[in-house]
Amino acid sequence: MSLSLAIVGLPNVGKSSLFNLLTKTQVEASNYPFCTIDPNVGVVAVPDKRLDLLSEMSKSKKTIATSIEFVDVAGLVKGAHKGEGLGNQFLANIRECDAICEVIRGFKNDNIVHVAGKIDPRDDKETIDLELIFADTSTVTKRLEKSEKEVKSGDKEAIFLRETLQKIKTELESGVPVRNIDLEEKEKKALKPLNLLTAKPIIYLINGEEKDFNSEHLKFLHSENTLFINVKLEQEIMSLNEEERQEYLEELGLKQSGLDKLISASYKLLDLDTFFTTGPEETRAWTIKSGSLAPVAGSAIHTDFEKLFIRVEVINWEKLLQAGSFNKAKEQGLIRIEGKNYIVKDGDVCVFLINK
């Protein structure tokens, strides 16, 4: 399953520096707006202690983590939806991603120019959010104009789409992103071809220390999808070797780095689960949508698994580790046999049986 997050924000908020850290790939980070013309793409492994423990148990030759693709989109500015700062091109890059990571500047540095000439996280957030809403309003308006012609035929689907678009347009014009609109599944399905920007799940990353924000800003910025990460501190952490890095994190009283928190939060944001396969040759994490039935989950390994599915042998990762091996778990009666209606859970270790 290919998954991608667009890293967006105003120029000089730390997007490219964050991308460099995430992917350990140096892309151009400049003190000037629009230096990053083409989106930079990097694939990042999702940290998962369960994977390492299972691999160690099985003495696997290879350990393969699941991954997320991050796309570093050049800085957006006010007026991007009208093409300002090559806005149309950058908005198209966002449209191709599954979710959005919006970086908001919270640090002060006189040597790094702010495009608006001042440090104001609230204003920065509103600027980007509004640009995405304006872009969606334009998309919906154009599709609505086309649907007006289609409903003349009396087609029920065309009529339903027009009603849905009218509902969405009213909300967007009131400043409400699509993700916050109460929609039925049928309405979501009708809107899916439009690939609306504000329908995508979003995570806000504040580049700075939480202690540096006043209570008014904290109240405004806090939500379940908000992270405070000091990118400069993360650069220091990543410059250390693995052992020194762990010691430094312990000194700071942190269980994991900010980058690991972001990667894990991004994975959760996309409503994903992980199941595992393990053996002497390979231990691997597989990505599936939460609530996937066993045959669908099996198709993550190979597309043929869904139609050739017979059954799946399942055990929770912790129970497997406690047993010590798959064979010992079988002897202890810990392995469950499940059919095509079984919903694969996060943390399941699976062996799929198919009709060859």
Q: What is the pLDDT of residues 48-94, one digit of tens each?
A: 899 999 999 999 999 999 888 888 886 665 654 555 444 456 677 88
Asked if the structure places residue 154 within a domain, the reply is: no
> Which residues constitute the domain of residue 330?
291-354
Residue 136 sits in the same domain as residue 219: yes
Indicate whether 60 belongs to any domain.
no
d(CA 13, CA 17): 9
- Separation between Cα atoms, residue 323 and residue 12, nearest integer Å: 51
Strand pairing partners for 343? Answer: 293
The residue type of 185 is E
CA distance 278 to 272: 20
pLDDT at 100: 93
**Between these two residues, 224 and 183, which has the higher pLDDT value?**
183
> Considering the chain, what is the average pLDDT of its residues?
84
> Is 85 inside any structural domain?
yes
> Regarding predicted confidence, which is higher, 257 or 140?
140
Same domain, 208 and 303: no
Question: Is 219 within the bounds of a domain?
Answer: yes
pLDDT of residue 241: 82
Closest by CA to 121, choosing from 13, 231, 235, is 13
Q: What is the DSSP string of 131-196?
A: HHHHHHHHHHHHHHHHHHHHGGGT-HHHHHHHHHHHHHHHHHHTT--GGGS---HHHHHHHGGG--
> Contacts from 286-290 at CB under 8 Å and sequence distance 24+?
286/66, 287/1, 287/3, 287/66, 288/1, 288/344, 289/1, 290/346
Q: How far from each other are the two terminal CA atoms of the chain, in whole angstroms? A: 24
Is residue 28 pLDDT above 60, yes or no? no
Q: What gap in Å lies between CA 284 and CA 279, rounded to an integer? A: 9
Same domain? 3 vs 98:
yes
One domain, residues 105 and 145: yes
Same domain, 18 and 110: yes
Give the pLDDT score at 112. Answer: 57
pTM, 2 dp: 0.80
CA distance 339 to 331: 21
Summarize pLDDT for 74-87 with one digit per residue, the tens: 666 565 455 544 44
Number of domains in the chain: 2
Provide the token pair at 341.
Answer: 């209606």
In the sheet that holds 282-289, the strands lie side by side as 62-64, 282-289, 272-277, 348-354, 309-316, 336-338
293: exposed, middle or buried (Cβ count in 10 Å: 0-12, 13-18, 19+): middle
344 confidence band (pLDDT: 50, 70, 90): very high
Mean pLDDT score, 16-42:
62
Nearest to 65 by CA among 276, 285, 289, 273: 285
pLDDT of residue 36: 44
Give me the residues paired with residue 337 across strands: 313
Residues 214 and 344 in one domain: no
Is residue 26 domain-resident?
Answer: yes
- Same domain as 327, residue 230: no
Write down the pLDDT at residue 40: 80
Per-residue pLDDT reduced to its tens digit, 89-110:
667 788 889 999 999 887 666 5
Q: Do 219 and 254 fall within a single domain?
A: yes
What CATH number does the domain containing 23 carry? 3.40.50.300
Query: Is 179 within a domain?
Result: no
CATH number of the domain where residue 303 is located: 3.10.20.30
Q: Which of 272, 305, 321 is the last residue of a domain?
A: 272
- List strands edge to edge, sheet with 99-105: 40-45, 67-72, 4-8, 99-105, 202-207, 226-229
| 70 and 105 co-located in one domain | yes
DSSP letter (8 states) at residue 73: P
Are 250 and 340 within one domain?
no
Query: Does residue 100 belong to any structural domain of this protein?
Result: yes
Q: Are residues 246 and 138 located together in one domain of the fold?
A: yes
Confidence (pLDDT) at 137: 93
pLDDT score of 89: 60
Do β-strands 336-338 and 309-316 pair in parallel, antiparallel, or remain unpaired? antiparallel
Q: Is 288 exposed, middle or buried (0-12, 13-18, 19+ CB in 10 A)?
A: buried
Domain assignment present for 56 = no
Residue ending a domain, choose from 211, 237, 272 = 272
Within a 13 Å sphere around the CA of 203, how many CA atoms are in the beta-carbon half? 24
* 241, 272, 303 - which closes a domain: 272
